[in-house]
Structure formats: structure tokens, C-alpha cells
Structure 1
Amino acid sequence: MALTPLSEDSRLPSLTLPQLLLAAYTALTVIALVYAASTSSAAFGAYNSQWDGAGELRGVAADAGANVTVGTNVSQYPTSGADGTVAVVLSPAEPYSSSERTRIAEFVRGGGTLVVAEDYRPHGNELLAAVGADARFDGRPVYDNRNYYRNSSLPEATPAGDYPETTGVDTVVLNYATTVRAGNATTLVNTSEYAYLDSNGNANLDGEEQLASRPVVTSESVGDGRVIAVSDPSIFVNAMLERGDNRRFVQNIVTNHDTALLDYSHASSVPPVAAAVLAVQRSDVLLLFCGVVLVGALLAYDRRLDEYLRDRLREYRGHEVDPHLSRDGVEKYLRARHPDWGTAQVQRVTEAIIKQRSERQRND
């Protein structure tokens, strides 16, 4: 005996529960990734894929063999076992508090490597002073009328010697950069001797401005750790990674570190969705909460699905098609039971019933 087919608007989904969950998870993931990649327009942003963003920096660090973490809180700086971690700070938009500076200083003294990239904001120098580094950013733009990429505001700098950070690097291209007053720090990269600091802001060599080779990247030991000062955060952005040997230089900084912490705790460049995902990843409590919510949703869905199946079976039990009805009889029966069905649908269901009946008769 064949049960009367369900109407099209009441049929169950053809996807299984795991398939539905996978589809929902995939859709949410794609939406989150697209949203994160397309809504951040902040310069140096980790989720900004435009020329001035640092979206590619995560890939460069990963290619260097490091586990990449986008940090949104200074508490993510390890204070013990920090020797395998390099932290990168790109032109912070806000000052670090006293307790935050103390935490980062403990990270450096504990063996961590801190990279501070700054040009004109004051917070880079504040951070260098707080961790006990000697280097300082000058804050005046540097120009070079002879050695440059496209114009004098994009000077080409070269390694000052053979260092791990400059292995395979011939040229570092700067973009409206400043220089570093090295102090007791070791100079890793210099401008050419034709560079000058534009003190009066007219982008011309005049007055008391002098040509000289000046440091743009320095390195120094602080406690058991190290501080690297880079006088141009633009080196790390998507477009500039493709200029000169900038990509290789950035990779060299990260190489030989297990973890790369990209510190965005004082930058307004992490979109809300990405920030939420990062918060869940950091918090065991939030992760457990999300797991409980997911399990609860699965149980609720499973119960509703079970009730739906029972209701549909009760609804159609007892409404079986007489196996002795002819084709015309089956059509009349279906039209009476489902007056909302069209002719084509009635015919399709009739064919299915006749076919099913024939198959059962052959099996018998």
C-alpha cells in the first residue's frame, strides 16, 4: 500500500542535519571573512586588504614559520618564555598606559623581541623609552634626491652590515619615513649619504639641512630581549611589501620565532566581527559558552524535527490509495485529496504511485 505523497510545500529538507550545520557554518565563516576583509579601511590595519593596509603581514609572518596572533589586548604579551615571540607595533594611535608599558617591558626583559615601527606619532618614542631602549624616532621626514624609488620621498636605504635581519636584502624602500637617532643601538639599515631631514617642511634641501647617511632601522639588547626600531611603518603595508626587498626584510625579522604577535591593542583597525572571533579564541569561558549554545540549538532542532516527523506520519496514516484503483481512479483520488495541485503535479504523483505499485507486484 502506498502512502499519499506529501504536498511540495510540506516536504522535509533533503539535507541531513550534519549537512545543514556544515552549510550554516560555512556561510557564517564566509560572511565573517568578507566582512573583516572589506570593512576595515584603517592604515596599517590587519584586516585592510587595500594598498595601505597590513592584511598581507599575517601571511608574511606565517611564511616565515611563525604562528600569527592578532593582539587586541596587552595581556597577550607573554612575560615568561617570551624568547620565542616577536611582537610588532605599527604606529599606535593611542598611548599605552603605565601598566601596559610595564607589561611590555617585562616581555622584552624576559627574552621577547619587540619591533616598534613609527614615523611621526609620539607614542612610538614613549614605548621605546618605557621598555628601556636607547633609540628614538627623529620625527622629521627624510628625503633623498639621488637614491629613491619613484621620487625623493621614497628613499632607498641599504644594509649597514651583515645581520640576520638583512640577509638577502639589498634595498629597503621607505615611504615618507623619518630616521632613527640610534644612541647606543646598532644600526641595521641606513639611508644613502645623499639623504637629508626636511626640518622646515618644504620638501627641499635648504637652510641648515645637511646631506648625510642616517639610520632607519636599529637593534639593541634590553634585558634578555631585543628592541628593533623601524622609522617607517609603511614598510609593513601591502603595497610596500612589494617594493625593493621589503618583504624579505620583514620575513627576516620574524624568522626564528615561534609566535608573531601583531599588536593592535592601541589601533582602531580591528573590525567588530574579527574582534569578536579573536575574543572567543582567547577566552575559554566564551568558547565554552558558544559550545553550550550550539549544543542546545542542536538538541532543540533535533526535538522539533522528531516532532515534525511524528506529526506528518499521524496526518497521513490511514489515507492510503486503494491498490485496485485504475490510473484514472488514482488521478481522481489525488484531485479530491489535493484540490490545490495542478494537472502536471497530479500526473507526476500518479505515475510515481503506479510505478511503485508495479514494483511491489513484481517483488511479490
Structure 2
Amino acid sequence: MRQTTGNILVVAALVLAGIVILSYLSSTDAELSRYNNGWNGTTSFYDQLERSGSTAITSYPDLRRAPPDTLILVEPHDLHSDEDKDSIRQFVRNGGTLIVIAKNELANSILETAGSTIRIQDSALSSMDMEYDDPGMVIAYKAQEHNLLEDVESIALNQPSTLTGGEALLETSSISWIDINNNGIADGAEKLGKETVMAHEIIDKGEIIVLADSGILINSMDFTVSERDNTQLRTNIVTSSTPSYDTVTSQPFMAEGILQAVTGAKSTTVIKILAILLITGIICAAYARKIL
């Protein structure tokens, strides 16, 4: 009986240690990470996608074998393989909808590959038409009707970039500007005017839609802009033709939870956790021996 009790204690301690380690290593604080539950992560957005029945695209050639209606990419990086480039190109030309949500110009390579003329301009867009007295929290308004903008009149952006090319879907008011010197006011050569932040373009049988602000997807934006139609826009994106989401080059999947944590294993927090678990294991083992 004593031996059984001791064994149970040891096993329980090891299971607890494993749960703690796995829980810690499967989380991250990386910006936009799908595995970041914090304010700047995107767990809420991807959870919503998965609840709606969306599936992950883990290989671009899959777009040829079983093409989804819509593919969502968030801050995608460059494509290196000719096969990947051709898969993206054919996906759009054959009738697929490519939604790119990014403020970084790195995403322009995907747009070019797909045959789009839309380009992201990595700029400090500011506006006097803003939320929370922050010129970077720019308000954008519907420029024309589109299925993604159903029941959407305005949204609040989070440090967005601007777009050129295509047809505008969302644009700022005329009291907006590119804040070249980042001083929060329109001065010098900085001119007031409307700027496009969401655009679309028809390519053969398909469509490309670009939103120049991945910041609207972070967890904290779920509740900070309830006066605007951000929630409705996100719902429209998630439910549009049962979309799939990219995990190949999109930033939220660049370093998955465990891999991310392993690369940072030198942090003092990890060391402290491991030390505590080691001490706990030793104590449990010693206690088990005593009662054997």
C-alpha cells in the first residue's frame, strides 16, 4: 500500500511538471502570434476562424489539389519557391479570393506574384479623425459597397499603412496625412487628404483584397473600439465563403509556441521554473522512498 501511494505521488508530480512545462512552452508574447493570448496576440481572431470551420493551409501546392474559396494571409513574408509562387498565382486566376492583411511592405512580393497592382506603402498614417486622442488610431470609412463591408460604415485602425493601386474599399477622411517626421501634427510638406487603407482588384476569375493594417486583428482590439464596426468587419472576413488561413509565410505562424519558447530557453523565467520543478520532483521522490 505504501509503495503504491509513493508511486502515485511520483507520477502525479511528473504529470504536474509536464503540464506546467507544456503550458509555458506553448505560449509566447510575440507580436501577432497565433499562440499569444496577450493584448498584442491574435488568438481571438484565429479561434474565431477555426470555430467558423476554417482550415489551415500548410503547403501552397494544396491550393491546387483542394482550393478553398478564400485564403487569408497576415503579414506574409517572401515566397522563395517557384512552385509556391505559381500556386498562389493560379489560385487567384482560377477564381480564388486572396485576402492580405498587412502593413509591412514585405507583403508586396505576394501581391506582385498574384498579379496585383495594389501595393502597401509603409507609412506613418495619421489623422485628426481618430480614436482615443491618438492620431495613429485612424478612423476609416467605407468608400464603396462590397460583401466584406456589409453593415460596416467605419472602423478604427491601429497604426496603419496606406495603399496604392486597385479600387478603394476603405479610406480615411480628408483630415489625414502621412506623418513623415512622426511629431503627431500635419506640418511642413505633410498635406491633408484622403488615404486608401483597404482596396480590391479583380484578377482574371479571382479577386485580391488588401487591408493595410494587421493591428486590427490583435486581441486588445476586440474591446477597445466597440463604437466602430471592427467586430462586424472581422466577422465578415471570417465568414466569407468559408476561408482558409495561411500558416506558411504569415507572421502569426512564423515561430510556433514550443519552438518559440525553446529558442528563448536562456531566459531567467524558464530557468526558475525548471529549478522549482526539479526541487519538487526531488522532494516527492524522497518522500516516496521514505514510505516504501
Determine the C-alpha separation between the residues in 2 that align with 1:217 and 1:211.
18
- Following superposition, the deviation at residue 259 of structure 1 comes to 3.9
Determine the C-alpha separation between the residues in 1 that align with 2:71 and 2:133.
31
Q: Specify which of 220, 223, 239 is matched with residue 239 of structure 1.
A: 220
On the 8 A contact 1:186/1:218 being kept in 2, the answer is: yes
1:208 aligns with 2:195: no
1:131 aligns with 2:114: yes
The TM-score normalised by the length of structure 1 is 0.61
Q: Specify which of 258, 272, 286 is matched with residue 258 of structure 2.
A: 272
On the 8 A contact 2:175/2:192 being kept in 1, the answer is: yes
Partner of 2:2: 8
Provide Cα deviations, 1:19-78, integer angstroms capped at 9, x if missing partner. Answer: x9xxx8x99789656642x2x222111111111111111122245x33232x5x443641
Partner of 2:95: 111
Q: What secondary structure, in the 3-state scheme, does the structure 2 residue paired with 1:123 have?
A: helix
Q: Report % sequence identity.
A: 23
Higher percent of residues as helix: 1
On the 8 A contact 2:78/2:249 being kept in 1, the answer is: no
The TM-score normalised by the length of structure 2 is 0.74
Partner of 1:57: 45
Distance verdict in 2 for CA 1:222–1:263, change over 3 Å: farther
On the 8 A contact 1:111/1:223 being kept in 2, the answer is: yes
Partner of 2:145: 162
Partner of 2:178: 197
Partner of 2:283: none
Partner of 1:354: none
Moved more, 215-224 or 237-246: 237-246
Determine the C-alpha separation between the residues in 2 that align with 1:110 and 1:31.
46
Determine the C-alpha separation between the residues in 1 that align with 2:38 and 2:188.
38
Q: Which runs of 5+ in 2 are unaligned?
A: 262-290
On the 8 A contact 2:105/2:121 being kept in 1, the answer is: no
Determine the C-alpha separation between the residues in 2 that align with 1:177 and 1:152.
11
- Following superposition, the deviation at residue 112 of structure 1 comes to 2.2
- Following superposition, the deviation at residue 204 of structure 1 comes to 2.4
On the 8 A contact 2:68/2:244 being kept in 1, the answer is: no
Provide Cα deviations, 1:252-272, integer angstroms capped at 9, x if missing partner. Answer: 123242342133535333123
The one-letter code matched in structure 2 to 1:49 is N
Distance verdict in 2 for CA 1:11–1:90, change over 3 Å: closer
Partner of 2:274: none
The one-letter code matched in structure 1 to 2:2 is E
Q: What secondary structure, in the 3-state scheme, does the structure 1 residue paired with 2:73 have?
A: strand
Output the aligned Cα RMSD: 3.2
1:153 aligns with 2:153: no
Determine the C-alpha separation between the residues in 2 that align with 1:262 and 1:241.
22
Provide Cα deviations, 1:61-113, integer angstroms capped at 9, x if missing partner. Answer: 245x33232x5x443641255252x2222223x42214232222222223222
Determine the C-alpha separation between the residues in 2 that align with 1:237 and 1:11.
47
Q: Specify which of 31, 41, 47 is matched with residue 35 of structure 2.
A: 47
Distance verdict in 2 for CA 1:260–1:150, change over 3 Å: farther
- Equivalences for residues 11-50 of structure 1 within 5 A: 32=22, 35-36=25-26, 38=27, 40-50=28-38
- Following superposition, the deviation at residue 233 of structure 1 comes to 0.8
Distance verdict in 2 for CA 1:245–1:27, change over 3 Å: farther
Q: Specify which of 161, 171, 189 is matched with residue 178 of structure 1.
A: 161
Distance verdict in 2 for CA 1:224–1:29, change over 3 Å: farther
Determine the C-alpha separation between the residues in 1 that align with 2:132 and 2:151.
19
Distance verdict in 2 for CA 1:67–1:187, change over 3 Å: same
Counting matched residue pairs gives: 253
Q: What secondary structure, in the 3-state scheme, does the structure 2 residue paired with 1:212 have?
A: coil
On the 8 A contact 1:46/1:269 being kept in 2, the answer is: no
Provide Cα deviations, 1:276-310, integer angstroms capped at 9, x if missing partner. Answer: xxxxxxxxxxxxxxxxxxxxxxxxxxxxxxxxxxx
Q: Specify which of 113, 117, 126 is matched with residue 143 of structure 1.
A: 126
Pair member with larger Rg: 1
On the 8 A contact 1:58/1:68 being kept in 2, the answer is: no
Partner of 1:226: 207
Determine the C-alpha separation between the residues in 1 that align with 2:157 and 2:29.
21
Partner of 2:54: 67
Higher relative contact order (CA 8 A, sep 6+): 2
- Equivalences for residues 87-106 of structure 1 within 5 A: 87-92=71-76, 94-99=77-82, 100-106=84-90
On the 8 A contact 1:165/1:253 being kept in 2, the answer is: yes
